Amino acid sequence: MRTEVAIIGAGPAGLLLSHLLAGAGVHSVVLERHTRDHVEARIRAGVLEEPAARTLVAAGIGDRLKREGLRHEGIHLSFGGRRHRIDFAALTGGKAVTVYGQHEVIKDMIAARLAAGGEILFEAEAIGIEGCDGDASPLVRYRSGGVGHELRADFVAGCDGFHGISRAGLAPGRMQALERTYPFGWLGILAETPPVSDELIYARHGDGFALFSMRTPELSRLYVQCPPDDDLDAWPDGRVWAALRTRLGPDTDRPLVPGRVLQKGITQMRSFVVEPMRFGRLFLAGDAAHIVPPTGAKGMNLAVADINVLARALTAHYRDARDDLLETYSDTCLGRTWKVERFSWWMTSLLHKFPDAGPFDERLQRAELDYVTNSRAAATTLAENYVGLAYD
C-alpha cells in the first residue's frame, strides 16, 4: 500500500494530523493497533487550552465540543483549609479553558475522518519503520489479522504514544532522552458524583495532593497523591472518598457525595522529552516525543500544538514545494515543549508532598502558594500558561 503520510497511532495527534492534511489535499493512512471501541473508550485528559479548542473548531471537528464542553474561566488553589481562585478571564483578557474529555475528542475525530472517507486501519499494529534517513520513501511494516503488511509513504508521523514503536525509528546516538521521575503517583477515579465546584480545585494538604475535576454535570474525575508503586487493592472506594474529603477540605461549593466508581487506576508521574523530534522523514508528535506530569493539564494540548506545526509544514511541502518548515519542525516544537514542561514541573512542585521534604521545604512551598494567590503578576503567569501559550 502507498500513501503520502503514514501516521502511526489514532490518538489526538494522529487523528488531528490526518484530518488537517485531508483538508489540504494530502493523503494519509492511520495505523492503530487497538480496536475502535478501545480507542474511543480510553479515559484520558479533559482540559483543552484556548488555542487547542480553537484549532479543533477551526478544523470543523468542534461542533459537539461547543455544545457540550464546559467553559472554565478559572481554577481554585486550596491550601490551609481555604480556596483561592485564579481568575483566567480577568488575567488574560477573557481567555478560558474548556473541559471536554479526550475520549470525546477522539470520537469526534474518528467520526469526522470516516465520514470524509479517511483511512484508519484499526487492529493494525506497526512493528517496524525503515528507510527514514535518505531520499527513498520510508517503509512501515504492520501486522493485521495475523498477516504482515507494508505501507510505503513519503513521510512517517509517529503519534503512537510513550510506549509506541516510533521512537525506535530514531537513529541510535542521534537522539537524547531527558527524563525526570517523581517520587509519587496519582490514584485517579472516574465516578458518578456531581461536581463539588463549578471549576477545578487543586488542593495542597499535609496528607498529599488532591485534584477535583469534572467531565459532565453528573460525572467527576478525582485524584489523590499516592506512592508510585502503590497497589490498587490498598485503595478500596471508602478510603479514596475519605482521602478526597480530607484533602479537599470543607471549603467547596457543594459537599462531596460518594458515588459509583466507574474507573480506578494509578499513574506514575514523570517528565520526558526526546530531542530531536525528527529523524529524516520520521516526525514524532504528542506523547511519542514528550510526557508531562498531568498537574498542568497539558498532555493532549501539547499534542495539538505539535500537529499544528507539523500539518502546516507538510502542507507547505506538498502545496508550495517548501521544506523550510519541515526542517525547523523539531526546534519549533521543542521551544514550546520546554515551556510547557517547566510549567507542569512548577505546578507539580507547588502542590505535592515530597517524601524527603522537611519543614524548611514545606514553608517555602506555602510561601510560594501565598505569593501566587496574592500577587496579580504571579497569578497572571499561572493563568497565561494554563489557558495556553499562543501558537507561533
**Residue 84 falls in the annotated catalytic set:** no
What are the residues whose beta carbons fall under 8 Å from the beta carbon of 240, sequence distance 6 or more? 187, 189, 222, 224, 261, 264
Distance (Å, rounded) from C-alpha 69 to C-alpha 148?
Answer: 41
* Catalytic hit among 12, 138, 293, 294: 294
User: What is the number of residues in the chain?
Assistant: 392
**Residue 76 falls in the annotated catalytic set:** no
What are the residues whose beta carbons fall under 8 Å from the beta carbon of 282, sequence distance 6 or more? 129, 132, 138, 155, 156, 158, 166, 169, 170
* Catalytic hit among 100, 202, 223, 329: 202
Distance (Å, rounded) from C-alpha 95 to C-alpha 50?
Answer: 7
Which helix or strand (DSSP H or E) is residue 77 part of?
Answer: strand 74-79
Decide: helix, strand or coil at residue 263: strand
* Catalytic hit among 19, 72, 76, 317: 72
Distance (Å, rounded) from C-alpha 354 to C-alpha 208?
Answer: 8
* Catalytic hit among 142, 223, 329, 386: 386
**Residue 72 falls in the annotated catalytic set:** yes
Radius of gyration, CA atoms only, the chain: 21
Contact 283, 155 (CB under 8 A): yes
Contact 148, 141 (CB under 8 A): yes
Amino acid at 124: A
Q: If you search the block for the grid coordinates 512548577, which residue do you land on? A: 346
**Residue 202 falls in the annotated catalytic set:** yes
* Catalytic hit among 95, 205, 298, 352: 298
- Long-range contacts of range 80-84, CB-CB < 8 Å, 24 or more positions apart? 80/366, 81/249, 81/250, 81/251, 82/249, 82/251, 83/201, 83/251, 83/252, 84/369, 84/373
- C-alpha count within 13 angstroms, C-beta hemisphere, residue 375: 10
Distance (Å, rounded) from C-alpha 241 to C-alpha 228?
Answer: 19
Q: If you search the block for the grid coordinates 516525543, which residue do you land on? A: 289
> So which residues are the catalytic ones?
72, 202, 294, 298, 386
